[in-house]
Amino acid sequence: MNQIFNHLPTAELQALDAAHHMHPFTDGGELAAKGARVITRAQGCFITDSEGNDILDGMAGLWCVNLGYGREELAKAAYDQMRQLAFYNTFFQTTHPPVVALAKKLSELAPANLNHTFFALGGSDANDTNIRAVRVYWELKGKPTKTHIIARHNGYHGSTMGGGSLGGMAGIHAQGGLPIPGISHIAQPFWWAEGGDLSPEEFGLKAARALEAEIDRLDEDNVAAFIAEPVQGAGAVIVPPSTYWPEIQRICDERNILLIADEVICGFGRTGNWFGSDTFGIRPDIMTLAKGLSGGYVPIGASMLSDEIADTLNSTEFAHGYTYSGHPVSCAVALENLRILDEEGIVDRVGAETAPYLAEKWRALEDHPLVGEARIAGMMGALELTPDKSARAKFAAEEGTIGFMAREASINNGLVMRHVRDSLIISPPLVISRAEIDLLVERAAKTLDQVHARAKAEGLMKPA
């Protein structure tokens, strides 16, 4: 069937797609009018569409295809595991070798006190697990009022009822009765947009201290945890000022609040170390994992718990789990993915070589008249587009107009970048070579030139 559909003309695939496929985070009417881009194959850092265009995938799928596409070893790991044991559950006092091996491997890679993994299918449901886990933990510790969770505006933690509530995305909260009770949001450490006249360092402290104020407002006895991404990904690759995380860590320690690092994007090498927590000196009690855990080849997510939390939860039956928690095929592929990252020295190479190379080239784009700020952390970056850099101004046009224009231009120039409002973001596969980085930056620069010329011609280079 796959073969037959691969040979359908693009227009026919698009019509069937519009008729039967509901897309995530997509205005269906708009898409139906235009037709979805059909991706038919991929190899290395390039995807190919149904019209035969090869496009450099500057987003690694959706922040996940860290080894690039087409790795035979991962396909073989899935094939072998499906033949050996396609599925067995882990509910009723049973286990299987791939889940044991993966849990052990994760305990070796993660920060020292995180040695226990509860498996999920992605990041959203792993964060749902976290909400329940921290509340059950405090209840078992004799502090049943500690239930409230503090998160951040413009954070992203998924789109389930729990994950979408932890996230601070206004568009998600506007639909379906979110956030659920017991979750509140503090300011994000986004200096470009919200730093005003403060230096980034001063602003980092101020943003962190919003956590302390929120704990005071709620009363420490009611607060279970704080959750944050080391670097906000979907928010637009927001790299916090250097002062932010040490202050957050101090507050969580002093106020007896659990710290959940959502490492779904940052984990497994994205920031140049195994975890964003390593890069930013964070000591989390829980880490959320997904995306890079399997390099996008199969769905898997996880919550890694500290010894203290796991021992406490293990004193009772935690009435929680997913049929596919610790799915053997997902675990086998994830293990192979981690083996390759490790044995081929990919995380080390990103940290020592390719990320610094990308950073130098990416930061140079800040000289472009359309770019106000070029942010970069390891292999994730953002360009803040602006009509007036010195004022850090927004465009007078509806927010996202220029960003969307730039995203479309970028794809036509052979590079997938994503836009968030009027910023452009990248998160390429970790295996991207220097030559491919050159190509990425060259195509990004070409896009900036085109969009700048068009925005000027259409009178859009006006500050709000």
Ligand X SMILES: *Cc1c(COP(=O)(O)O)cnc(C)c1O
Cβ neighbours of 364 (radius 10 Å): 13
15: left (phi over 0), alpha (psi -120 to 50) or beta: alpha
β-strands 286-289, 301-306 pairing: antiparallel
Q: How far apart are CA 301 and CA 303, in angstroms?
A: 7
Closest approach of ligand X to the CB of residue 196, in Å: 27
Those residues whose C-beta lies under 8 Å from the C-beta of residue 126, and which sit 6 or more positions away, are 118, 120, 264, 288, 289, 290, 301, 302, 303
Closest approach of ligand X to the CB of residue 399, in Å: 21
By beta-carbon proximity to ligand X, the closer residue of 229 and 373 is 229
By beta-carbon proximity to ligand X, the closer residue of 60 and 397 is 60
User: Which residue in 209, 150, 204, 229 sits closest to 182, CA to CA?
Assistant: 150
Is the peptide bond between 428 and the residue preceding it cis, with omega within 30 degrees of 0? no
Closest approach of ligand X to the CB of residue 293, in Å: 10
Q: How far apart are CA 202 and CA 217, in angstroms?
A: 23
| Chain residue at closest Cβ approach to ligand X | 123
Closest approach of ligand X to the CB of residue 391, in Å: 31
By beta-carbon proximity to ligand X, the closer residue of 214 and 229 is 229
Closest approach of ligand X to the CB of residue 171, in Å: 15
Q: How far apart are CA 38 and CA 311, in angstroms?
A: 48
Interface residues toward ligand X, by CB under 6 A: 63, 122-124, 156-158, 163, 229, 233-234, 262, 264-265, 290-291, 301
Q: Mind giving me the DSSP string for 29-44? A: HHHHHH-PPPEEEEEB
Closest approach of ligand X to the CB of residue 290, in Å: 4
Beta strands in 50-96 (DSSP E): 54-56
By beta-carbon proximity to ligand X, the closer residue of 74 and 234 is 234
By beta-carbon proximity to ligand X, the closer residue of 63 and 362 is 63
By beta-carbon proximity to ligand X, the closer residue of 118 and 395 is 118
Kind and range of the H or E run holding 329: helix 328-343
Q: Residue-wise over 155-177: b if at least 16 C-beta within 10 A, else e?
A: bbbbbbebbbbbbbbeebeeeee
By beta-carbon proximity to ligand X, the closer residue of 13 and 238 is 238
Which ranges constitute the DSSP H helices of 110-237? 123-140, 161-166, 170-173, 191-194, 200-218
DSSP 118: E
By beta-carbon proximity to ligand X, the closer residue of 206 and 291 is 291
Q: Which two tokens stand for residue 458?
A: 């259409």
By beta-carbon proximity to ligand X, the closer residue of 122 and 387 is 122
Closest approach of ligand X to the CB of residue 22, in Å: 16
Closest approach of ligand X to the CB of residue 92, in Å: 26
Closest approach of ligand X to the CB of residue 167, in Å: 8
The CA R_g of the chain, rounded to the nearest whole Å, is: 22
Chain-centroid distance, C-alpha 196: 27
